[in-house]
Amino acid sequence: MNSGEASGESDGVGEQQSIADESVPGKEDRIDFLKHAIAFSEWSIRSFDTKAQISIAAFVLSMAPLWSILTSAHPRAGSSVAIVVLLVVFVTTVMLFGFVILSASPPPGQLSGGWQTKGLFYVGDPNLLTTSLAAYRLKGLATEIELAAETLKLAAIRNIKSRRLKHALVSTAVFYAAFVVSFLLLRSCSATDKSWLCGY
């Protein structure tokens, strides 16, 4: 191998190394990325709460016209067992939407991955800490570790609220399906029929 080929290979290795160095984000870039991830997770969590609140209001208001439709299908619809079941599903759906708004938190220590976070964002139980101990712990914290731990916690909370909202939406679909079935069953009842389905 001549000196020209050796020089060319060394230049190629140098270029690849420089490209690899440029593709690795620096500490400030990593911190900025974590801050953006935290902001996105917080926005997603707030949006789930807003969606649940709007859904509760719309769902409750929709009950009035639905009840009018059921009573028009049969005059004794209020005493039917099918309506009782429908009301149970209705209340369950409202509670599931309300459950979305409730605060959620992952199990302690589940997301830390062995990291000993020192409570930059979440202090924990204030009865177990003193002012001097909290100040001492903050002096030795690592910003990236704290930001990464907070990102994981918010992502877990976002997943919990997303799962709760999906359950509430499934319950909503079940309610409207039960409403259609109840309407068809009540419409098949005559005015003189008295039974668990047609009412007494």
Q: Which residue is listed with tokens 């914290």?
A: 141
Q: Residue 10 — pLDDT band, cuts 50, 70, 90?
A: very low
Write out the H or E segment, with its range, that includes residue 108.
none
Query: 116 φ, ψ to 5°?
Result: -95, 85
d(CA 145, CA 151): 10
Q: Compute the average pLDDT of residues 144-171.
A: 88
The alpha carbon of residue 96 and the mean position of all alpha carbons in its chain are separated, in whole angstroms, by 12
Judge contact between 93 and 171, C-beta under 8 A.
Answer: yes
Q: What pTM does this model have? A: 0.70
Q: Where are the domains of the chain?
A: 26-110+143-187
Angle at CA of residue 163, ends 175 and 93, nearest 5°: 25
Per residue in 81-102, pLDDT (tens digit) is 888 888 999 999 999 999 999 9
Per residue in 40-71, pLDDT (tens digit) is 988 999 999 999 999 999 999 998 898 888 88
